[in-house]
Amino acid sequence: MIAAPSARRAVARWLFLVAALIFLMTVIGGITRLTESGLSIVDWRPVTGALPPIGEAAWMAEFDKYRQSPQYQLVNRGMTLDQFQQIFWWEYIHRLWGRLIGLAYAVPFAWFLWRGAIPRPYRPHLWAALALGGLQGAVGWAMVASGLVDRPSVSQYRLVAHLGLALVIYVYLLWLGLSLWRGDRPAADRPGRRSAPALAVLAFLTILSGGFVAGLDAGMTYNTFPLMEGRWVPELYGSMTPWWVDPFENAAAVQFHHRVLASLTAAAVLAMAVRLAWTAPPSVGRLALACGAMVAVQFALGVATLLLHVPVALGAAHQAGAVTLLTLLVCLAHAVRRTGEPAAGKARI
């Protein structure tokens, strides 16, 4: 079954909207992390937690729960109620936005299914995306729970898992939306058909490496560029034992790897942009040049964020820039691998 073009595009617009909400969620999550607000709400109430504390008694009860947490005991002891409210609101907005995304996906999904507007080959993919969204909520709570037992911060591994799954869902919905909008018939071999998807994967891995930087507060050290305390490779690189934890638990190694991946991503995307600008169709060439411009902006944002010791505004801009670059690369990968004609039968996403 192939839905009418107008129905396909209506479904695509809905997927683009949900993807945009996830994009904003990654920025809100970044700010929540940068302001160290993520552990301010110490329980998970999917329904009643949608409402914030109302009245002084409710605020004091919430504050009392927070004062039992390791973050308060070891980091924020003596914090006032006003100071607590400042970090509470970021985590509350983060969780509320997650609920909004769930509603923005589930309600239209049910409507489009009922109306028969979703092409049959796409339905399993959209059910899978719904399941991934539910899993993301569980991963988010598991991340928060890791900082409520005996440590005043969340596990960097769970943080990266939470970020990575958010990006997987984002890219999944974006790709499905593009396929519905443009069609999903595989195109003939075009310039960039292999390099564009590979660079999208590289950008994804670079973002995940940045998650480890955030999880270990590694951006607060080695605040020089391009050298790290006067060395290309920091002195403490490889100093942890056993050796296999060093890339994930050593702040020096984590930041070094992020620098290397970011530099490699920037060089590769710029090289691809120049090549496709000369060899690809004009529409693809323009999109490739946009990728090149964005990677240059993102690299500059990263360096500035590091040199200025990670101010919240720059850190949030760096997070948004990373997802913007990933978005452009995914759009480019789709443009060089798909035509504008619908394909019958199984959806080739």
Residue 186 — φ and ψ, nearest 5°? -60, 135
Per 3-state DSSP, the chain is made up of helix, strand and coil in percentages (nearest 5) of 70, 0, 30
Q: Which long-range contacts (CB under 8 A, 24 or more apart) does 46-52 make?
A: 46/99, 46/137, 49/95, 50/96, 50/99, 52/88, 52/89, 52/92
Q: Give the three-state DSSP class for 228.
A: strand
Q: Which of 54, 94, 122 is nearest to 346 (CA)?
A: 122
- DSSP string of 32-82? HHHTT-TTS--S--TTGGGSPP-SHHHHHHHHHHHTTSHHHHHT-TT--HH
Contact 36, 314 (CB under 8 A): no
- DSSP string of 116-177? T-S-GGGHHHHHHHHHHHHHHHHHHHHHHHTTSSS-SS--HHHHHHHHHHHHHHHHHHHHHH
Please, what sign has the CA dihedral across residues 298, 300, 301, 305? positive
Contact 263, 251 (CB under 8 A): no
Is there a binding annotation on residue 125?
no
- For residue 295, the tally of other CB atoms under 10 A from its CB is 26
Phi-psi region of 7 (alpha: psi -120 to 50; beta: other; left: phi over 0): alpha
For residue 42, give the amino acid letter.
V
Q: How far apart are CA 206 and CA 257, in angstroms?
A: 9
Is there a binding annotation on residue 318?
yes
Q: Give the three-state DSSP class for 186.
A: strand
Binding residues for heme: 258, 318
Binding residues: 258, 318
